[in-house]
Amino acid sequence: MKPREISVTVNAKHYRSEVPPRLTLLDYLREVLGLTGTHAGCEHGVCGACSVIFDGQPIRSCLMFAIQADGHEVETVEGLAGADGGLSPLQDAFWEAHALQCGYCTPGMLMASHALLRANPDPTEDEIKEAIGGNLCRCTGYQQIVEAVRLAAKRMREADPEAGPEGNKDRVDE
């Protein structure tokens, strides 16, 4: 089918591209925009490696077509680093707590956890497990990932006490 023009904001940068309707958001990010931080795992919505943030909410980018993202906003792992290119507090905590080994699941884990901490700066262990429950990791056994998210949450709360601990757990979607 003939390509269509779309306009998408990715990590606060605007892109205009021509895409065939069958191109997934995942393949668009990786192959058209060259943002290969988002990983392709199972490509049918099981592993969570391709998790990105779409209009503020974590989703699986293999389960959306790029054409559906026309006019929308996407955040990927490339957007986490600070302006100086340094690791974000969450990425730094993953490094410190040994929350990765092979690293394949890491971008998805980071984006799922990033969305969690933005909505809930002081999550319980169960809330962390729920947030990353759709992301498979075959190396770590998950414990260090949970530990890393807790460490990041603690450091981010200390750096910005205004943010917690209520968060917006009970927020209601319009």
Partner 1 sequence: MKAAAFDYIRAGDLAEVCRALDDGGPDCKIIAGGQTLVPMMAMRLARPSILIDINAVGELQGIGGDETSLVIKACTRQAAAERSPEVRAKAPLLAKALRFVGHPQTRNRGTVGGSIANADPVAEIPLVALTLDAGLVAESAGGARNIGISGFFHGLMETSLAADECLTEVRFPVWNGGGIVGTGFREVSIRAGDFAIVAAAVQLALDENGVCKRAAVALGGVAPTPLRIEATAEALLSSDLDAKTVGEAARLAAHEIDPVADVHASAEYRRRTARVMVERAILEARDEALGRVAKP
Maximum C-alpha span of the chain: 52
For the CB of residue 5, give the shortest distance to partner 1 in the complex, in Å: 12
Tell which positions 56-75 bind partner 1, by CB under 8 A: 57-60, 62-65, 67-68, 70
Amino acid identity of residue 48, one-letter, is G
x/- letters, 17..56, toward partner 1 (CB under 8 A): ---xxx-x--x--------------xxxxx-x--x--x--
For the CB of residue 158, give the shortest distance to partner 1 in the complex, in Å: 26
Query: Concatenated DSSP letters for 73-129?
Result: EEE-GGGTS-TTSPPPHHHHHHHHTT--SS-SSHHHHHHHHHHHHHH-SS--HHHHH
The whole-angstrom separation of Cα 68 and Cα 124 is 34
Task: Give me the residue label for tokens 């601990």.
Answer: 165
Give the nearer residue to partner 1 in terms of CB position, either 14 or 171. Answer: 171
Is 11 in contact with 29 (CB distance < 8 Å)?
no
Kindly state the tokens that stand for 93.
């905590």
Kindly state the tokens that stand for 159.
């750096």
Is residue 153 a contact point for partner 1 (CB under 8 A)? no
Give the nearer residue to partner 1 in terms of CB position, either 92 or 134. Answer: 134
For the CB of residue 40, give the shortest distance to partner 1 in the complex, in Å: 9
x/- letters, 108..137, toward partner 1 (CB under 8 A): ----x--x-------------xxx-xx---
Instruction: Compute how many other C-beta atoms are within 10 angstroms of the C-beta atom of residue 27.
Output: 19
For the CB of residue 93, give the shortest distance to partner 1 in the complex, in Å: 20
Give the nearer residue to partner 1 in terms of CB position, either 39 or 60. Answer: 60
- Rounded (10°) angle between helices 125-132 and 143-159: 120
Binding interface with partner 1 (CB under 8 A): 1, 4, 20-22, 24, 27, 42-46, 48, 51, 54, 57-60, 62-65, 67-68, 70, 112, 115, 129-131, 133-134, 170-173
